[in-house]
């Protein structure tokens, strides 16, 4: 493969010998091919010839962060109703505004705003779940970001669709419209077990089987959700979904806060995945997901921000730090979720959850060049005994200077190359007037 660009970072974050952890290597070079793949990873001294050589002295080069759960367009509702419990927040603040204002332009413009924030913060791929997925797909494609886009399903009407059949046909049409885009993939997303009936889950499963699509859902986010499921169905939502044959190797459980040992064992046995959203869970007082226990049981865990309405940042550096700290305080064990594990969750763990680990999640020859360069030269980083520890406990999103998706530089010197700040500011101002 012809090398177009060679990057020479101070530290390169690569899989260790086991492939299950990351490590920081020095004196490395990473080569990008003309078609946007990683064509060389090895000693800088042995690097082949290349058209461009980029000196990243003082920088860490790492795989792009994967935000495994967000509602990108909800960035337009950032801070609209803070310090409110989940059910009141949804029913009194979010759903009424969505019912009145949700539209293709809302999602397109809100998703562009989210893409700006995510790319600038080093997130190269998001798993987006929202209404009007065609608008989200167009926005993320324009921003140059990789994404898995949910085809959402509810049993109740919204401005987007009337019933489960309507959601499914609109979602599948959006998928067809973007079938030629290498950086976009689609998943079926049942919003939650409490908003989707057994018969709708059966339809989702039928399409998942037929079209080989993953199934994602919010799962056991609150204790109330579990209690209501036990009252209505006699079992937890996880057991109900297992009975419906929904939990399987491409099933992604978002939140999974209130999971007992049986729920965890079920998800492990079915090789399913969990997306941990620590900031959103704390902000909505949902609880603490038993992530250290899940990790020890062998469950693949990814990290997500959730939407900006419940976070209020799409900032994976915050999620990494929160995940590490929350695991320690909730288990009483300072050794729980050490930095290399957290970095794994935010990169390869996310790629595995999305079924995309053949392309992204680690710096390895043959994978897509989805990379970020993090400036570690500021005095706030000094001294650097262990760059992995710093990436979780010290670094923030403003340290991200350069971002590549599929070899294309989409952030240069901290500025997204394919988006226009003035345009995004005008969208945000107009929606602020409308939504207040
Ligand atoms: Zn969510």
Q: How far is the CA of 306 from the centre of ligand 1 (A)?
A: 5
**Alpha-carbon separation of residue 422 from 351, 429, 430, 433 (angstroms):** 33, 11, 13, 17
Question: So what's the pLDDT on residue 19?
Answer: 81
Q: How many C-alpha atoms does 49 have within 13 Å on its Cβ side?
A: 1
Percent of the chain at pLDDT > 90 equals 95
d(CA 150, CA 178): 13
Q: How far is the CA of 405 from the centre of ligand 1 (A)?
A: 25
Question: So what's the pLDDT on residue 151?
Answer: 98
Q: How far is the CA of 362 from the centre of ligand 1 (A)?
A: 25
Sign of CA dihedral 392, 221, 314, 69: positive
What confidence tens digit (pLDDT) does each residue in 180-213 have?
999 999 999 999 999 999 999 999 999 999 999 9
Q: How far is the CA of 66 from the centre of ligand 1 (A)?
A: 15
What confidence tens digit (pLDDT) does each residue in 296-347 have?
999 999 999 999 988 999 999 999 999 999 999 999 999 999 999 999 999 9
Let me know how many helices (H) and strands (E) the chain has, helices first: 16, 17
Question: So what's the pLDDT on residue 21?
Answer: 85
d(CA 371, CA 363): 8
As a whole number, the mean pLDDT across the chain is 96
What confidence tens digit (pLDDT) does each residue in 79-133 have?
988 998 877 888 999 989 999 999 999 999 999 999 999 999 999 999 999 999 9
Residue 404 has pLDDT above 70, yes or no: yes
Q: How far is the CA of 288 from the centre of ligand 1 (A)?
A: 15
Q: How far is the CA of 129 from the centre of ligand 1 (A)?
A: 7
pTM: 0.97
Residue 221 has pLDDT above 80, yes or no: yes
Q: How far is the CA of 136 from the centre of ligand 1 (A)?
A: 15
Using alpha carbons, select from 122, 138, 166, 31 the residue that is nearest to residue 319.
122
For residue 1, what pLDDT band results from cuts at 50, 70 and 90? low
Q: How far is the CA of 102 from the centre of ligand 1 (A)?
A: 17
Q: What is the mean pLDDT of residues 3-32?
A: 94
Q: How far is the CA of 70 from the centre of ligand 1 (A)?
A: 6
């Amino acid at each position: 493969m012809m090398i177009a660009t060679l990057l020479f970072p101070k530290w390169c974050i690569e899989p260790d010998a086991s492939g299950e952890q990351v490590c920081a290597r020095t004196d490395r070079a990473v080569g990008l091919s003309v078609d946007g793949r990683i064509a060389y990873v090895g000693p800088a001294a042995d690097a082949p010839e290349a058209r461009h050589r980029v000196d990243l002295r003082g920088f860490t080069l790492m795989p792009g962060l994967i935000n495994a759960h967000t509602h990108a367009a909800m960035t337009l509702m950032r801070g609209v109703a803070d310090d409110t419990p989940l059910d009141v927040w949804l029913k009194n603040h979010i759903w009424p505004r969505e019912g009145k204002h949700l539209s293709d332009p809302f999602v397109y413009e809100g998703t562009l705003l989210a893409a700006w924030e995510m790319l600038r913060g080093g997130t190269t791929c998001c798993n987006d779940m929202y209404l009007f997925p065609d608008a989200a797909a167009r926005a993320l494609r324009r921003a140059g970001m990789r994404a898995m886009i949910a085809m959402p399903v509810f049993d109740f009407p919204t401005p987007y669709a009337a019933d489960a059949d309507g959601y499914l046909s609109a979602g599948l049409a959006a998928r067809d419209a973007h079938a030629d885009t290498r950086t976009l993939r689609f998943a079926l997303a049942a919003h939650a077990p409490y908003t989707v009936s057994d018969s709708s889950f059966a339809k989702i499963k039928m399409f998942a089987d037929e079209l080989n699509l993953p199934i994602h859902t919010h799962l056991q986010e609150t204790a109330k959700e579990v209690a209501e499921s036990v009252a209505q169905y006699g079992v937890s939502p996880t057991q109900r979904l297992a009975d419906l044959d929904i939990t399987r190797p491409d099933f992604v459980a978002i939140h999974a806060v209130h999971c007992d040992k049986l729920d965890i064992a079920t998800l492990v046995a079915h090789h399913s995945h969990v997306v941990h959203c620590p900031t959103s869970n704390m902000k909505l007082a949902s609880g603490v997901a038993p992530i250290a226990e899940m990790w020890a049981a062998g469950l693949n865990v990814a990290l997500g921000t959730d939407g900006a309405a419940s976070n209020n940042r799409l900032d994976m550096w915050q999620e990494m730090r929160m995940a590490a700290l929350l695991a320690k305080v909730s288990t009483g064990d300072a050794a729980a979720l050490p930095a290399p594990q957290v970095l794994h969750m935010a990169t390869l763990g996310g790629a595995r959850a999305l079924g995309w680990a053949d392309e992204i999640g680690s710096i390895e020859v043959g994978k897509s060049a989805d990379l970020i360069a993090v400036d570690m030269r500021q005095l706030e980083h000094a001294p650097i005994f262990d760059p992995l520890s710093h990436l979780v406990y010290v670094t923030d999103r403003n340290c991200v200077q350069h971002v590549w998706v599929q070899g294309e530089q989409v952030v240069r010197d901290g500025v997204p190359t394919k988006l226009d700040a003035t345009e995004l500011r005008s969208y945000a101002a107009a929606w602020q007037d409308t939504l207040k």
